[in-house]
């Protein structure tokens, strides 16, 4: 295994752990949905930015799904793996794709991060529609707030980890 591949795997494991912990430790319950708002989505976004689309997707999906498992939301773990992985993939892809057109790393990270505002609420809505029917619409506002808080927290944390990106 090459040194670069090993470093990428270590970083992915670290981001999976950060995502899991940030999701599990700080929980702000959302009334009426049984869910909660957390800081994990910031690390979902940062995973995509720092690690790129593939490693970022793996780290974000695994970390978020592990948090569901240890937090008692096992029923959501498979869909969380997909949704959060897709969100990290999208932000990582956009962050890298915009490099030729937008020079500011911070602007690219912010623009890429906005994808989570669509992916997370839509992904959980589709899943919950299958399970709960039209009542699934009740969780949309909480999922939008959750995603938006992830964008804001990631935007704040980005300068702190910027040097980590360039290593």
pLDDT (0 to 100) of residue 166: 56
pLDDT tens profile 6-21:
999 999 999 999 999 9
Closest listed residue to residue 67, CA positions, set 3, 23, 32, 122: 23
Mean pLDDT of the chain: 92
Cβ atoms of residues 123 and 82 within 8 Å: yes
pLDDT (0 to 100) of residue 147: 93
Evaluate if residue 160 carries a pLDDT over 90: no
pLDDT (0 to 100) of residue 82: 98
Measured CA to CA, the distance from residue 94 to residue 118 in angstroms comes to 14
pLDDT (0 to 100) of residue 59: 98
- Report how many domains make up the chain: 1
Cβ atoms of residues 47 and 35 within 8 Å: no
98 or 31: which leads in pLDDT? 98
Measured CA to CA, the distance from residue 96 to residue 105 in angstroms comes to 10
Evaluate if residue 167 carries a pLDDT over 60: no
- Range(s) of the domain holding residue 29: 3-165
For 72, 138, 150, the CA distances from 88, given in Å and listed in that order, are: 23, 25, 12
pLDDT (0 to 100) of residue 30: 74
Phi-psi region at 83: left, alpha or beta (left = phi > 0; alpha = psi -120 to 50):
alpha
143 burial (CB, 10 Å; 0-12 / 13-18 / 19+) is buried
**The domain spanning residue 83 has which CATH number?**
1.10.1760.20
Q: What is the 3-state secondary structure (H, E, C) of 19-45?
A: HHHHHHHCCEECCCCCCEECCHHHHHH
In the chain, the percentage of residues whose pLDDT exceeds 90 is 79
């Amino acid at each position: 295994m090459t040194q670069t591949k090993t470093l990428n795997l270590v970083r992915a494991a670290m981001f999976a752990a950060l995502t899991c912990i940030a999701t599990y430790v700080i929980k702000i319950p959302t009334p009426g949905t049984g869910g909660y708002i957390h800081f994990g989505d910031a690390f979902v976004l940062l995973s995509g930015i720092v690690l790129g689309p593939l490693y970022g997707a793996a780290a974000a999906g695994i970390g978020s799904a592990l948090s569901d498992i240890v937090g008692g939301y096992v029923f959501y773990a498979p869909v969380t793996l997909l949704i959060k992985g897709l969100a990290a993939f999208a932000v990582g892809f956009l962050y890298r794709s915009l490099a030729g057109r937008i020079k500011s790393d911070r602007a690219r990270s912010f623009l890429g991060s906005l994808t989570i505002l669509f992916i997370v609420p839509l992904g959980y809505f589709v899943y919950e529609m299958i399970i709960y029917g039209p009542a699934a619409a009740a969780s949309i506002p909480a999922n939008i707030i959750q995603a938006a808080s992830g964008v804001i927290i990631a935007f704040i944390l980005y300068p702190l980890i910027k040097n980590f990106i360039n290593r």
